[in-house]
Chain A
Amino acid sequence: MAFFFQELVNGVTTGALYSLVALGFSMVYGVLKLLNFAHGDLYMVGAFVGYFLIQWFGGPSALGIPVPLLLIIMFVLAGGLVGGLGVAIERFAYRPLRDAPRIAPLITAIGISFFLENSVLLLFGGQTRVYNTPDFISLSSGITIGPITIDTVQILVLVSGAVLMIGLRLLVSRTGLGRQMRAVASDREAAEMLGINVNMTIAATFFIGSALAGVAGVMAGLMFNQVANTIGFLVGLKAFTAAVVGGIGSIPGAMLGGLLIGIAESMITGYVSSTFTNLIVFGILIVVMLARPSGLLGRVQLAKV
C-alpha cells in the first residue's frame, strides 16, 4: 500500500510538471490553432536560465542569498525571459503565417525548435549542466508520512503548480484579458471587429504560455537536476500529448491530461515493468482517445452547416 502511495506521489509530481507545460501549449493552440512544436524548447531555455542564476549567485554549494529568495528570483526571471522570447518568436515567425493553411506554421515551429536547440548547443556547449539541488535544498527536508517521502522540491512543484494553474484559470475566466483571449480563440475576425486588439491579445497569450513553460523548466531543473539542450523535445511531446488527451483548448483538460500521463507512467513502471512503460502508456492513451474522441474534457465541436 505504501508502495502504491509512493508511486502515486511520484506520478502526481511529474504529472504536475507535464501539466504546466501542457497548459502553455493548450493556451497557444486555443488562440491560434497552432501546434507549437518549439514549446518544449522554451522549457529548456527556462531550465538554462535557472542554472545560470544559480551559478551567478555563487553556485549550488555556496549561495550568496537565502534559498527562498533564490527560488523566487529564478521563477520570475525564467518566466519573464522565456515569456519575452515567446513573444519575440510569435512576432517574428508566426504572425506572418496567421492566415496560412494550418500546416505551414507547423514547419516554422519545427524550424524554431531546431534553431533554439542548436543555438543553445553552440553557445553553451553540449555537456550536461547540473543544478545540484541537494546542495541547497536538503534531501532529508520534507514530509514523511510513514514510509512515504515527499521531499521539499516535490512539495514546491506541487504547490507552485497548483497555484499557477488556479491563477491561470482565474485569469481566463474572470479578467478582461481572459475574456479577450476567449473571444480571439473563438472567432478571431469577429473579435477584431469588436475592437479587441488581436495582436496584443495573442502576444499576451504567448507570453503567459511561454512563461509557464519557463517556470516548468526551472522546476524540472530542481527536480531532475540535469539541464541539457535536448531535454525539451521529449517533454514537449508529452505536453502535446497531455494537451490533446485532455481536450485541446481546455485548461482543466490540459491539467488532467498531464496528471494522467504522469500517474500512468509511474504506476506502470512500479507495477508492471519499466521496459514497456512507454508502450503501455501509449496504449492506454489510445484507448482513452477512442473512448472520448474530443479528449477527456474537450467540448465536442458542433459545426454549423
Chain B
Amino acid sequence: MKGRVITAAAALGALAVAGCGSSSSGGGTSGSGGGTAAKSCVATIGFEGPITGPVAVLGTEQLHFANLALSMDNKANKTKITLKQGDTQLQPSQATTVTQQFTSNSNMVAVVGPAGSQEVEAVGPLFARAGMPFITGSATAAALTTGKYPTFFRVVSKDSVQGPQDANYIVKTLHPKSLMIVDDQEAYSTGLVAAMTPVFKAAGIKVDHESVPQTNVDFSSLVSKVTPSTSVVVLPWQVAANAQQFGRDLAQQHKKTVIFGTDGLFSPGTFTISGSYVSSFGPDITAIPADASIAAAAKAKYGSFGTFGPPVFAATHVIDEAIASVCKAGQTPSRSNVLAAIKKTNESSSILGQPIQFNSHGDLVNGKFFLFKISSSGKYQLIPG
C-alpha cells in the first residue's frame, strides 16, 4: 500500500518536473514574446489583485474589467496581448511572491495592480529593480508617489487630494456641528481619515473617530452611538455593502444622519441610501454615452459592478495602448520601451471621464473628483461644480 503511494508520488513528481522543464521559467506563456514585430504585436501583461480571500469581491471585479479592456483593445489594435493573473489575497507577502513570478517571466512587460497600498510598498522595489512598469487602479496612499518607485503609476487620485476635497465640501455645504468618522482599519481608510480630520478640526467641528474592521457586518452597536446632534457620518470604506447596512441600521434606529462616502462606496447597485453623498474618481460610467458599450458589455458578462472595475479598465487600456504604440514604431515590446511609452501617455478621454496623463512621480495629472447625491429612488445624481 505504501509502496504504491511512493511509486505514484514518484510518477507525479516526474510529471511535474517534465512540466517544469517544458515551460519557461515562472510559467508557460502562450505565444513567444516579441516575434517579428511588424507582423503581430505579441506581449504578456500581468494582473495582481485579491482574486480570492477576504476581499475577493474587489479583486474579481478588477480582473473582469482588466480582461474586458484587454479583449476590446486586442480587437481594436489588432494586438495579441495575453494576461496572466496573480492572486495576492491582499497579503503583501503573497504580493511579493506574485511579483517575483512576474518579474522572472521574461515575456512580461507590464503589470496591472496591485490593489492595496500596502502591497505597492512591498513590491515597489522589486518592480523598480526589474524595470517593469506597474499601474494600479486602487492604491491611493499619498506616500507611494514620493519618487521612491520610479516604475509606479496610478490612474486614480491620492488620498491627500480626495480627503481634503471631500472634507471641505462637508464643512462648507453641510455645516455639521459634530460628525462621526469611521475607518475600516485598512490603509485606504485610515489614510483618508488622516487627511480629513485636520480639516474638520480646523473648522471647529466635534469629531468622533470610530473604527471597525472591514469584516464586521453588524453596525447596530455603532449606530446606537450616533447622537442626535451628529448630522453627518463619514464612511471612507471600501465595501459598499457595509455602508448600505449601516444606513439601514440608521433608519431602523430612526436616526436622520446623512452618510458621506468616498469612492469606495460608489456602487449604484449596492449602496442606495437616499440622501447620501458619494465622491468618486470616475463618473457613473452607465451614465456616459461614450462608455455605454463598455458598461453594457460588463453588465452582460459579469453582472453588477461597483467602483473598482473602471479604474483597472483604464489602467489596462493605458498599458495596451503603450504596447500598441511600441509595435507601431516597429519595435518589439520590452519593459523599457513600454515604460517609456506609458510615461508619454496622453489620452484626451478615458472611461473615467477625464484625460489621462502622468506626472514625473506617476500620479494622475489633474485628477477630477465627482460628487454624487443619492436621490430618494436610489439613483446617483451628479452634483455640478
Contact = CB atoms under 8 A, between A and B. Distances in A.
B59 A126 contact: yes
A118 B56 CA distance: 10
A278 B304 contact: no
Nearest to A150: B252
A6 interface: yes
B244 A273 contact: no
A269 B225 CA distance: 8
Contacts, number: 100
Contacts of A278: 213
A3 interface: yes
Contact of A130 (B213, B241, B251, B253): B241
B72 to A, nearest CB: 21
Contacts of A233: 54, 215
Contacts of B217: 224, 226, 231
Interface in A116-167: 118, 121, 125-128, 130, 133-134, 139, 149, 151
A126 B54 CA distance: 10
B245 interface: yes
Contact of A225 (B61, B182, B185, B245): B245
B254 A224 contact: no
Nearest to B302: A125
A127 B61 contact: yes
B220 interface: yes
Interface string B233-260: 0000001011011001001111000000
Given A130-B270, A225-B241, A225-B245, A11 B57 contact: no
Main secondary structure on A side of the interface with B: helix
B222 A269 contact: yes
Interface string B46-65: 00000011101101110000
Given A139-B248, A230-B56, A149 B304 contact: no
* Interface size class of chain B, counting residues whose CB lies under 8 Å from the partner chain: 35 or more
Interface string B195-222: 0000000000000011111010110111
B303 interface: yes
Contacts of A229: 56
A127 B298 CA distance: 13
Given A126-B56, A127-B304, A230-B56, A139 B252 contact: yes
Nearest to A274: B210
Contacts of B221: 7, 10-11, 265-267, 269-270, 274
A127 B244 contact: no
Contacts of B253: 6, 149
Nearest to B210: A274
Interface of B: 52-54, 56-57, 59-61, 182, 185, 209-213, 215, 217-218, 220-222, 224-225, 239, 241-242, 244-245, 248, 251-254, 270, 302-305
